[in-house]
Amino acid sequence: MTATSGGRAEAGAGEFVAIVPAGGAGTRLWPLSRAVRPKFLLDLTGAGRSLLQQTVDRLTPLTGIGGVLVVTGGAHAAAVAEQLPELAPGDLLAEPSPRDSAAAIGLAAAVAERRRPGVVVGSFAADHVVHDVATFHAAVREAVATARAGYVVTIGIEPDRPATAFGYIKTGEPLGVEGAPSAHAVRSFVEKPDAATAVAYLAEGGYRWNAGMFVARADVLLGELAAHRPELHAGIVKLADAWDTPDRDTVLEAVWPTLEKVAIDYAVAEPAAAAGRVAVVPASFGWDDVGDFAALATLLPADAEVRVLGDGAHVLSRESSGVAVPGHGRLLAVLGLDDVVVVDTPDAVLVTTRARAQDVKSVVEALRALGRSDLL
Amino acid sequence: MTATSGGRAEAGAGEFVAIVPAGGAGTRLWPLSRAVRPKFLLDLTGAGRSLLQQTVDRLTPLTGIGGVLVVTGGAHAAAVAEQLPELAPGDLLAEPSPRDSAAAIGLAAAVAERRRPGVVVGSFAADHVVHDVATFHAAVREAVATARAGYVVTIGIEPDRPATAFGYIKTGEPLGVEGAPSAHAVRSFVEKPDAATAVAYLAEGGYRWNAGMFVARADVLLGELAAHRPELHAGIVKLADAWDTPDRDTVLEAVWPTLEKVAIDYAVAEPAAAAGRVAVVPASFGWDDVGDFAALATLLPADAEVRVLGDGAHVLSRESSGVAVPGHGRLLAVLGLDDVVVVDTPDAVLVTTRARAQDVKSVVEALRALGRSDLL
């Protein structure tokens, strides 16, 4: 155990910066999700706000105004800026090319550390859903307190089913951090299990879903990167030194393409866990990564046999169940189909079943093979 | 037996006039079929010609040019004229309001009789499909020969399955009409049977589907009308007398609304059959009334698991079977559904199964109940 210094009970505004990596195509949500309009830009809950907007809405009470950094691909920077008019231009980090999550989150952490030395940062994907925001806030506050004590902290979701779509976190002993009564050591991260293994995890207990939420002091995170990926760390430091200067673009152009492509899980979380420096705050706040239309269906009001994302007046269902996504005013009529998925967009209509929701990816692959990039 | 006079072997051009009643909404084919664009105006076989156009194409070799009269509702007269530019204005009979088939066919027969006394007329619905046109022609020629002998003649389709969607004709003894070796007496017309009765009909033999094809000398047909529906006959005679004169519209306006609404089956065929004056020419030429999407599917090329009416490039199916009707260039993607029906139109998308094809009517009824006349 090498965690350093005691923590405070609660992070105040300015002491916590949220990093929101906004990436991922969400091909299992085609034809809603497209290359130019990926999942995080979509309102998939009928809330009137995109997943990205909801993510920022959820984090701002923890960070205060101006405490969110969004990292996204250059192709989506304009759309992100449009959806988040409150985001200062310097808080939108546009990647010239995809270099995976360690580079993206590392750069954001280094920029935050330059601006506010000693700050705690937390990384939260732009395309997940959280139902109970108050419980989420309480968990993040515990994670921030644990991070102040020197840990790299992850929030571990209490499993409510033997899911095979998520990695798991194996929980160790309680840490006794002040202000973070739930914090435990992480024994290990484990890959997405098969169905039997997932059932065994639930039966054994002590396993949490890895929702990819990492909280740490920026200097701790960068220290881990320096220890495990020194070249990547050196590049990130160069970029961060130039970020809030006129040299940003020049240095970005020179350095970014040289950065190692590696996930933060491999570059930081797993080696740190092996060294006993990772903590988990278990929590249960209704989390979902909305990975496919079956997951989407569970988020929608269950006031009709066919759940509707959009205007229910545009769906006429008879003796059917499933989920329908009408688009642009056209009527969707569904008759005599169970567990069906119907998605209408201006240039493509998808008809499948909830049971086949994961295989929607294969439709996208088929379209790519056919050269239909206009539909991707 | 009261049939009069001998027949000739073959009808020449000018001796036979085809009457094509173009009506019926085809609500089981919604959303393809609409009130303003009913089934007979649609190309439902991918032939590049509507069912109406194919019907006229099929009949013209029997009648010669100018030998087809089309009777349709006033609302569809313009669309019919557009699809049939070869049709003389006087050969398009637009009904001011629907008065059922006895009035429509009776008027056309009376107009044909005024123009060509002694002519044989035949009535053929505008929205049926015939696969083997040569065999159809041969059957009609036999029917014309039998009609010249004084009979009201129907063409009876050899059943290839115990269909419950059609009425049946019970066949009697051979008639021995010259030029019509297949002609038999009709013992009776029977209503659409239930499934068990339909199976019994097939097992017993001697039953034919009633495809609503009637062939008779116009004077014989009008004589039957005069005998069984004298008021309707009197009205039709008034109309026919005025038809090819400047008084047509005035008389139409005065007389048409007074005509009895009755099907030609009840007004003519059944009483004539009871009196032994109806003959049937059995035939087998691949006939279908394309009553629903299940029937439509059987008409389409079976070169893919999902049969396509339209451009196959607009359908992407994976591990699915059924029928897809793409519209207007949008892609239809179908994944993991058996026997599905997907129909895309600019303002409505239908998703159902072939097994529920008959119930599409209930969707149309639901839309009517919702006041969505824009979609009917």
Q: Is the pLDDT of residue A255 over 50?
A: yes
Burial B48-80 (b: 16+ CB within 10 A, else e): eebbbbbbbebbbebbeebbbbbbbbeebbebb
What mean pLDDT comes out for the span A252-259? 96
Environment class of residue B114 by beta-carbon count within 10 Å: exposed (0-12), middle (13-18) or buried (19+)? middle
Q: Residue A200: which residues within 8 A CB-CB, separation 6 or more?
A: none
> A11 with A145: CB under 8 angstroms?
yes
8 Å CB contact between A31 and A345: yes
How much is the pLDDT for A302?
A: 83
Partner-chain contact A355 B344, CB within 8 Å: no
Contact A330 B347 (CB under 8 A): yes
User: For residue A363, which residues of chain B lie inside 8 Å, CB to CB?
Assistant: 316, 318, 333, 335
For tokens 């995976």, name the residue.
A100
Q: Is the pLDDT of residue B254 over 50?
A: yes
Q: In this predicted structure, which of A256-265, B299-308, B319-328 has the lowest mean pLDDT?
A: B299-308
Mean pLDDT of A245-272: 95
CB A375 to CB B336 under 8 A? no
Please tell me which residue of chain B has the smallest CA distance to A374.
B331
The Cα–Cα gap between B108 and B20 comes to 9
Name chain A contacts of B350, Cβ cutoff 8 Å: 333, 335
Question: A340 vs B363: CB contact, 8 Å cut-off?
Answer: no
A-B C-beta contacts closer than 8 Å: 113
Between A163 and B11, residue with greater pLDDT: A163
Q: Which of A340, A349, A362 to mutate to test the interface with B (most CBs of B within 10 A)?
A: A349
For the record, the structure tokens of B85 come out as: 């530019």
Which residues are CB-contacts of A72 (< 8 A; sequence separation ≥ 6)?
A21, A22, A23, A80, A92, A93, A94, A95, A126
Residue-averaged pLDDT of chain B: 93
Whether A353 sits inside 8 A of B344 (CB atoms) is no
Question: Beta A92-95 vs A120-123: how paired, if at all?
Answer: unpaired
Give the span between the Cα atoms of B366 and A159, in whole angstroms: 43
C-alpha count within 13 angstroms, C-beta hemisphere, residue A46: 17
The arithmetic mean of pLDDT across residues B243-247, rounded, is: 94
Mean pLDDT of A69-89: 96
Q: Chain centroid to CA A177: how far?
A: 26
Q: How far is Cα A375 from Cα B329, in angstroms, rounded to an integer? A: 12
Show the domains of chain B with their CATH numbers.
16-288 (3.90.550.10), 299-375 (no CATH)
**Residue contact B349–A356, C-beta within 8 A:** no
Whether A214 has a pLDDT exceeding 90, the answer reads yes
pLDDT given for residue B14 in this prediction: 58
The helix/strand/coil state of A6 is coil
pLDDT value at residue A305: 87
B28: chain A residues, CB-CB within 8 Å: none
A11-15, A290-294, B119-123: which is most confident: B119-123
pLDDT above 80 (res B1): no
Minimum mean pLDDT range among A113-122, A302-311, B206-215: A302-311
What tens digit of pLDDT does each residue of A161-177 get? 999 989 999 999 999 99
Residue A310 has pLDDT above 60, yes or no: yes
Report which DSSP code applies to A15. Answer: S
ipTM exceeds 0.90, yes or no: no
Average pLDDT (B5-21) is: 63
**Percent of chain A residues past pLDDT 70, beyond the cut:** 96
Question: What confidence tier does B156 reach under pLDDT thresholds 50, 70, 90?
Answer: very high
Look at residue A327 in the predicted model and tell me its pLDDT: 86
A330 contacts B363? CB cut-off 8 A: no
Q: Is the pLDDT of residue A359 over 80?
A: yes
| pLDDT attached to residue B24 | 81
pLDDT digits (tens, 9 = 90+) for B294-322: 999 988 988 788 999 999 999 999 999 99
CB contact under 8 A, B352 and A335: yes
Stretch A286-300: mean pLDDT? 92
The SS3 of residue A278 is strand
Residues of B within an 8 Å Cβ radius of A: 31, 316, 318, 329-337, 340, 342, 344, 346-353, 355-356, 359-360, 362-363, 366-367, 370, 372, 375
- What per-residue confidence (pLDDT) applies to A254? 96
- Report for A272-276, B129-133, B162-166: range of highest mean pLDDT: B129-133
Radius of gyration over every alpha carbon of chain A, rounded to an integer in angstroms: 21
* Interchain CB distance below 8 Å, A316 and B366: yes
Instruction: State the pLDDT at residue A337.
Output: 96
A31·B333 Cβ contact <8 A: yes
Per the document, the length of chain B is: 376
Q: Answer yes or no: are the C-beta atoms of B311 and B36 closer than 8 Å.
A: no
Rounded Cα distance, B350 and A368, in Å: 27
B176-229 residue pLDDT tens: 999 999 999 999 999 999 999 999 999 999 999 999 999 999 999 999 999 999
- Kindly report the CA angle at B332 between B327 and B335, in degrees rounded to 5? 155
Q: Check B370 against A316: CB less than 8 A apart.
A: yes
Residue B143 contacts residue B281 (beta carbons within 8 Å): yes
Q: Is the pLDDT of residue A376 over 70?
A: yes
**pLDDT range class, residue B2, cuts 50, 70, 90:** very low
- Whether the CB-CB separation of B177 and B169 falls below 8 Å is answered with no
Spacing of C-alpha A46 from chain mean position: 19
Which neighbouring-strand residues pair with A184?
Answer: A174, A280
pLDDT given for residue A14 in this prediction: 58
Q: Which long-range contacts (CB under 8 A, 24 or more apart) does A189-196 make?
A: A189/A265, A189/A269, A189/A270, A189/A273, A191/A167, A192/A164, A192/A165, A192/A166, A192/A167, A193/A164, A193/A168, A194/A164, A195/A162, A195/A164
Interchain contact, A353 vs B340, CB within 8 Å: no
Contact A129, A288 (CB under 8 A): yes
Contacts A328 to B, Cβ<8 Å: none
Residue by residue, what is the 3-state secondary structure of chain B?
A: CCCCCCCCCCCCCCCEEEEEEECCCCHHHCCCCECCECHHHCCCCCCCCCHHHHHHHHHHHHHCCCCEEEEEEHHHHHHHHHHCCCCCHHHEEEECCCCHHHHHHHHHHHHHHHHCCCCEEEECCCCCEECCHHHHHHHHHHHHHHHHCCCEEEEEECCCCCCCCCCEEEEEEECCECCECCCEEEEEEECCCCHHHHHHHHHHCCEEEEEEEEEEEHHHHHHHHHHHCHHHHHHHHHHHHHHCCCCHHHHHHHHHHHCCCCCHHHHHHHHHHHCCCEEEEEECCCEECCCCHHHHHHHCCCCCCEEECCCHHHEEEECCCEEEECCCCCEEEEECCCCEEEEECCCEEEEEEHHHHHHHHHHHHHHHHCCCHHHC
Q: Residues of B with CB below 8 A from A372's CB?
A: 331
List the single residue in B with minimal CA-CA distance to A330: B347
Helix (H) or strand (E) holding A216: strand A207-217
pLDDT exceeds 50 at position A7: no
Going B125 to B373 to A309 to A41, the CA torsion angle's sign is: positive
| Residues on chain A touching B365 (C-beta within 8 angstroms) | none
Residue A371, phi then psi, degrees to nearest 5: 80, 20
User: To the nearest whole angstrom, how far is the Cα of A304 from the nearest Cα of chain B?
Assistant: 16
The label of the residue with tokens 């020969």 reads B145
The answer to whether the peptide bond before residue B230 is cis (omega within 30 degrees of 0) is no
The pLDDT assigned to A26 comes to 84
| Burial (CB count <10 Å: 0-12, 13-18, 19+), residue B301 | exposed
Interface contact A349-B340, CB threshold 8 A: no
What mean pLDDT do residues A360-369 have? 96
* Token reading at A299: 């988020």
Mutation target vs A (from B308, B323, B335; most A CBs, 10 A cutoff): B335
Position B4 pLDDT exceeds 60: no
Given a cut of 60, whether residue A317 has pLDDT beyond it is: yes
**CA distance to partner chain B, nearest, from residue A328 (Å):** 9
Q: CB-CB: which of A335, A337, A372 is closest to B360? A: A335
Contact A342 B351 (CB under 8 A): yes
């529920």: which residue's tokens?
B356
Residue bearing the bigger pLDDT, A36 or B10: A36
Mean pLDDT of B237-248: 95
Chain B residues closer than 8 Å to A348 by CB: 330-333
Contact B318 A355 (CB under 8 A): no
DSSP state of A192: P
Whole-prediction pTM: 0.87
> How close, in Å, is residue B353 to chain A by CA atoms?
7
